[in-house]
Structure 1
Amino acid sequence: MDYLTLRSLKPSEFEGAARGYRTLGDMASQAKDDIEQQVTAGMRKSLKGKAVDEAVRQLRQLSANFHYTQVECALITTALNSLAHELRAAKNRLDAAVEDAAAAKFTVHSDGSVSYPPAGDNVDGKVPEGGTVKCSASGEPTRNPIDPAGDANDTAEALQRQASNHHDNPNYGRALSIANRIAQAVHQATRADEKWAPELRKLKADDDLVVADEDWADAKRDVGGVRRSAKEYLDGIKAPPKDGSPEENAAWWKGLSKEEQDACVALDPAGLGKLDGLPAAVRDEANRTVLAETRAEINLKLDEFDKNRPEPEKYEQKWDNINQVPVQGEKQVTLAWKAWDRERSRIAEPLMGIKAIQRRFDRTGEDGLPEAYLLGFSPEGRGRAVIANGNPDDADHIAVYTPGTGASLSNSKGDINRGVNLWKTSHPLTDQEVSTITWIGYDAPPEVFPDATQDKYADGAVDAYGQFIDGLNAANKAGSDAHITAIAHSYGTTVIGAAAQEGRIGVDDIVFAGSPGARVDNAAELGVDKGHVWNEHARGDNSVSEAGRHFHGGGLPGIDPSDPIFGANQMATDTEGHSGYWDYDDGKHKPSLSLENQGWVIVGDYDNVKMKPREDGSLLPVDWREPSAWGL
């Protein structure tokens, strides 16, 4: 870039282009939402069959195309704004130098050199003559064209200053300083141009109509490239508070301009999607990008694995090792295939959870099911999956379901469906807005024994759970006035108890189902108002009492919430075993009584909750929320 180019440059034109790409990205986002929330949802609501399934599959691909367009447009927008920011800094520097030259009645030439008039004390009867100077970007006097390489060193700059101070014409030093500033401005603009030109060229998709895994992988690389190049621009954007509370996160987000918010979403979707207190729509957008990139990354790893590790023979002749003879008609799986399958399954494992989340996205509109919001996602470790049915920011009643032992990203299908059933049950019970959330936001015990007899999993979940609940309050339109119900199953009830012990509960009602123990001896210790702790223990749920004995034997404190002395409201159940509390008859659109009772608690209509009859079969007490009415 030369002097004249920078002089005529208008950074606002790049910002205008950025606004155009942002508009295009917004249009793509709106098209994506329309497909998912209206077109696909409408089809799911009124039509069924294979033809509908195929149409939904194609619409899903179209939605993915719009999503990819949205992500790439956001990156281009940020790149152009960053380029404009750097060019404006250089342009302002140049304009200031030119203005100073004009004020001193110097002349700036088309090559960036500066002419100065005669001035100073007479020398041999003459006023020192004027002249013309050029400078490199680092200030070294030269008769060569402006040197954008900027390779002058500090010694040359020192010599320049010394020469300026001893020159007979005082204008020489001023002109040299102005020429130096001009050269530095041109150099600064040249560096910005050279840096951003290749980055912008990378921000393009394949010339086809299918967004493939390679495209999403490329998008993730683009994010890294733009983030590195945009460091100067991003340094001007206030970073989120370090280890901030949800309230601090919410305040930070509200304090950003729309342009700054877009840059944060584009360049750090993984970090932004984790921030409790931010709007659900923002977290959903960020986490869906991370999900798409993760799915693509895993698929590409599987392709590479299959390419380099062909599947070995699965079966071989089974042998009688004692008699060293083949067993006629029987085969066994080869050790080579087992090792191959084990390694491949390790890579593919997160895809099970990703497919479960995508299935929930696709169900929007089915039986009136609202849009899903992905409030948390990570494939790391056992994985994270936090998914809401309906926007919790707009909800009057929010239920957060915490699963127990075995919960993980790859095993999330059933837990996601339980959140769906909670919404389908509670939504018709009120004319207010309801949102139900499946919270797989902690490392649950992998196995019942010995893992579920240890308290480390519950203790490790406390801060994450508390932050999440506080985030719901911070982002909700009604703030802390929103009615929040914590629903927990099995070891999840231990998580709730641990959170209550640390003062991190933040909810209005607590519902336990199949609890082996909640780490407390009385409902009054759970941090909610009297009468707002509820418990369900289904017939045949023997695993609860058995696990409870192991819990207490293992040193985990707490009385079984099914014990009358605990003081919880004992709700009636009509389901069997440890996992039936969320049974829903889709054919009849009817929840089980176990599930319906949870629904009444979610909407705060406690008088409709069916209570568990006393052992003598007598009628329920009038004031069943008073422990004294139960003879306690």
Structure 2
Amino acid sequence: MDYVTLKSLKPSEFEDAARGYRTVSDMASQAKDDLEQQVTAGMRRSLEGDGVDAAVEQIQKLATNFHYTQVECAIITTALNSLAYELRLAKDKLDAAVEDAEAEKFTVQSDGSVSYPASGDKVDGKVPEGGTVKGSAQGKATNNPIDPAGDANDTAEALKRQASNHHDNPKYGRAVAIADRIAQAVYEATQADEKWAPKLRRLKADDDMVVAAEDWADAKKDAGGVRSGAKEYLHDLKAPPKGGSPKENAEWWKGLSKDEQDAYAALNPSTLGKLDGIPADVRDEANRTNLAEAEAAINLKLDRFDKERPEPTKYEQRWDNIRQVPIQGEVQVTQAWKAWKAERDGIKERLKGIAAIQIRFGRTGERGLPQAYLMGFSPEGRGRAIIANGNPDSADHIAVYTPGTGASLSNSNGDINRGVNLWKTSQSLTDQDVSTVTWIGYDAPQDIFPDATQHGYADNAGGAYNQFIDGLNATNKSGSDSHITSVAHSYGTTTIGMAAKEGDLGVDDIVFAGSPGARVDNAADLDVSKGHVWNEHARGDNLVNGTGRFFHGGGISRIDPTDDIFGANQMATDTDGHSGYWDYDDKTGKPSLSIENQGRVITGHYDEVKLKPRSDGSLMPSDWRNPINWND
């Protein structure tokens, strides 16, 4: 870039272009939301059958196109604003230098050099002549391999400026200083142009109508490239507080301007999506981007992996010593293929969880089912999936369901459906707004023995659970007065018990189902008001309870929530086994008593909860007690 170009440059034109892309991004976002929340929801409400599923799948693909457009345009917006910011800094420096030159009656030439008039005391009877000087920028790199950083140039310029102080014409030194400022401004503008031109050229999609895995992979690269280049522009944009509480995160987000929020969301979706205390709709947008980019990365990895597929079988060759000919032995599966298949299966498992989340997105509107909010997502390790039915920020009643052994991203489908059933049941019992959340936000044990007998999984999850609940309280319209119920199953009850032991659980009610033990020996130790701990224990669900109390029961007596001494409200159930607490009747389509009782607690209808009938005058019938006495 030269002096004339910079002098005529208008950084505002780049900002205007950025606003245009922001408008396109917002329009794409609105189109995506309309497709998912209006069109799809409307079809689900009024139509049924395989044709609806096929139509919804096509609409979701179109919504993906709009989502990709939204993400890319948001990245371009930040890139253009960053370019405009850097060019304006350089332009302001140039304009200030030119203004000073005019004040000195200097002339700035088209090449950026500065002409100064004759001035000063006469030397040999003559006034020192005027002249023209060419400035140079400090820190300017060179192509000289001996001096790539331009340090020698800087030294030479310093000597030149020192010499100017002894020049016969006093205007010479001032002209040199102004010429250097002009050169510096042009140099900085050139640097900005050279940095951002290739980045902006890369911000374009393929000229087809399909958003492929490669496109999402490029979007993630684009965000990284713009993020690294926009450090100056984002210098004053505060990062979220390191290790901040949900309340601190909420205050940080509220303290950003709309432009700053948009820039941070565009460039840091993976960070923003996991911050407790950030509004649900913001986390949802960020995590949907994380999900799309993760799915793309997994599919691309799978494609590469399939190309490296080893031979699955080989023949065991033997030699016939009598006839002196080789003979073919048994077919054997190669160890290389076994290892390849095991790793490939692991890669594909992650896609199952992503598909389960996307299926839930497509169910919006089905029998009134509200929009899903992706509150947390990660494909790493066993994965994370936190998905809400309805916006918890505006809900009057919130239930957070925590699954137990076997919970993971790849196995999330069933747990997501349980959250859906909880919403259907609870919402039918009240005119107020309900939001139910499936919280797979921890590494759950994957096997009963030995994993589920250990405390470590629950110990490690307690802090994360408390943070999440604090985040719900920080963003809900009612603040800390919002009504939140913890619903937990199996090992999940152990996890909630551990979270409660850490204090400040932040919920109003706790519902346990199929608990192996809550790490405490009394409901009073669970950090909720008296009478607000509820327990369900179905017929045929004695194994987990009986075995679990030995490992996770409270106190030396191994007490668990089914014991009358524990002090929980024992709710009646009509389901069988360990996993039926969230079932609906297949014939009538009505909720079971087990889940309906949970819904009554969630909506605060405590007086309508049906407690377990007493057959012998005790809190629980004798046949419900576990026959194993671990103290014997």
Decide: shared fold, TM above 0.5. yes
Name the aligned partner's letter for residue 211 of structure 1.
Answer: V
Q: Contact 1:484–1:602 at 8 Å: present in 2 too? A: yes
Distance 1:291 1:405 in 2: 24
Name the aligned partner's letter for residue 419 of structure 1.
Answer: G
TM-superposed deviation, 1:333:
6.8
1:69 match: 69
Say which SS state the counterpart of residue 394 (structure 1) adopts. coil
Distance 1:557 1:228 in 2: 58
TM-superposed deviation, 1:154:
2.9
TM-superposed deviation, 1:221:
1.2
Q: Runs of 5+ in structure 2 lacking a partner?
A: 141-147, 317-329, 621-632
- Which residues in structure 2 correspond to 1:189-208 (within 5 Å)? 189-208=189-208
TM-superposed deviation, 1:126:
2.5
1:430 match: 430
Distance 1:335 1:592 in 2: 49
Q: Contact 1:312–1:340 at 8 Å: present in 2 too? A: no
Distance 1:579 1:217 in 2: 39
TM-superposed deviation, 1:130:
1.7
Name the aligned partner's letter for residue 412 of structure 2.
Answer: S
In the alignment of these two chains, the number of paired residues is 600
- Which residues in structure 2 correspond to 1:287-302 (within 5 Å)? 287-302=287-302
Distance 1:285 1:551 in 2: 41
TM-superposed deviation, 1:117:
2.0
User: Normalising to structure 2: TM-score of the pair?
Assistant: 0.91
1:327 match: none
Per the alignment, do residues 62 and 552 of structure 1 end up closer, same or farther by CA in structure 2, a change over 3 Å counting? closer
Deviations 1:252-287 (A, max 9, x none): 111111111111111111001011000101100000
Name the aligned partner's letter for residue 132 of structure 2.
Answer: T
Q: Contact 2:277–2:474 at 8 Å: present in 1 too? A: yes
**Which shows bigger deviation, 487-496 or 45-54?**
45-54
- Which residues in structure 2 correspond to 1:32-431 (within 5 Å)? 32-138=32-138, 153-309=153-309, 312-313=312-313, 337-431=337-431
User: Aligned-pair RMSD on alpha carbons?
Assistant: 2.3
Tell me if 1:503 matches 2:503. Answer: yes
Distance 2:314 2:33 in 1: 45
Distance 2:8 2:183 in 1: 15
2:624 match: none
TM-superposed deviation, 1:153:
2.8
Per the alignment, do residues 104 and 301 of structure 1 end up closer, same or farther by CA in structure 2, a change over 3 Å counting? same
Distance 1:342 1:187 in 2: 56
User: Normalising to structure 1: TM-score of the pair?
Assistant: 0.91
Say which SS state the counterpart of residue 428 (structure 2) adopts. helix
Q: Contact 1:494–1:517 at 8 Å: present in 2 too? A: yes
Distance 2:578 2:66 in 1: 43
1:459 match: 459
Q: Contact 1:453–1:556 at 8 Å: present in 2 too? A: no
TM-superposed deviation, 1:339:
3.1
Deviations 1:376-405 (A, max 9, x none): 000111110000000001101000001111
Say which SS state the counterpart of residue 376 (structure 2) adopts. strand
Distance 2:351 2:444 in 1: 19
Per the alignment, do residues 346 and 555 of structure 1 end up closer, same or farther by CA in structure 2, a change over 3 Å counting? farther
Per the alignment, do residues 505 and 125 of structure 1 end up closer, same or farther by CA in structure 2, a change over 3 Å counting? same
Name the aligned partner's letter for residue 581 of structure 2.
Answer: Y
TM-superposed deviation, 1:100:
1.2
Q: Contact 1:536–1:572 at 8 Å: present in 2 too? A: yes
Distance 2:103 2:25 in 1: 46
2:610 match: 610
TM-superposed deviation, 1:535:
0.5
Name the aligned partner's letter for residue 79 of structure 1.
Answer: A
Name the aligned partner's letter for residue 579 of structure 2.
Answer: S
TM-superposed deviation, 1:448:
1.1
Distance 1:449 1:504 in 2: 31
Name the % identity: 78
Q: Contact 1:519–1:557 at 8 Å: present in 2 too? A: no
Per the alignment, do residues 247 and 119 of structure 1 end up closer, same or farther by CA in structure 2, a change over 3 Å counting? same
Distance 2:314 2:207 in 1: 40
Per the alignment, do residues 595 and 271 of structure 1 end up closer, same or farther by CA in structure 2, a change over 3 Å counting? same
Q: Contact 1:136–1:152 at 8 Å: present in 2 too? A: no
Distance 2:342 2:256 in 1: 47
Name the aligned partner's letter for residue 355 of structure 1.
Answer: A
Distance 1:105 1:127 in 2: 17
Deviations 1:75-95 (A, max 9, x none): 100100110011011011111
2:547 match: 547
Say which SS state the counterpart of residue 584 (structure 1) adopts. coil
Deviations 1:30-65 (A, max 9, x none): 110111111111111211122212111111110110
Name the aligned partner's letter for residue 123 of structure 2.
Answer: V
Q: Contact 1:459–1:498 at 8 Å: present in 2 too? A: yes
Name the aligned partner's letter for residue 33 of structure 2.
Answer: D
Name the aligned partner's letter for residue 362 of structure 1.
Answer: G
1:517 match: 517
Distance 2:315 2:409 in 1: 31
Per the alignment, do residues 350 and 535 of structure 1 end up closer, same or farther by CA in structure 2, a change over 3 Å counting? same
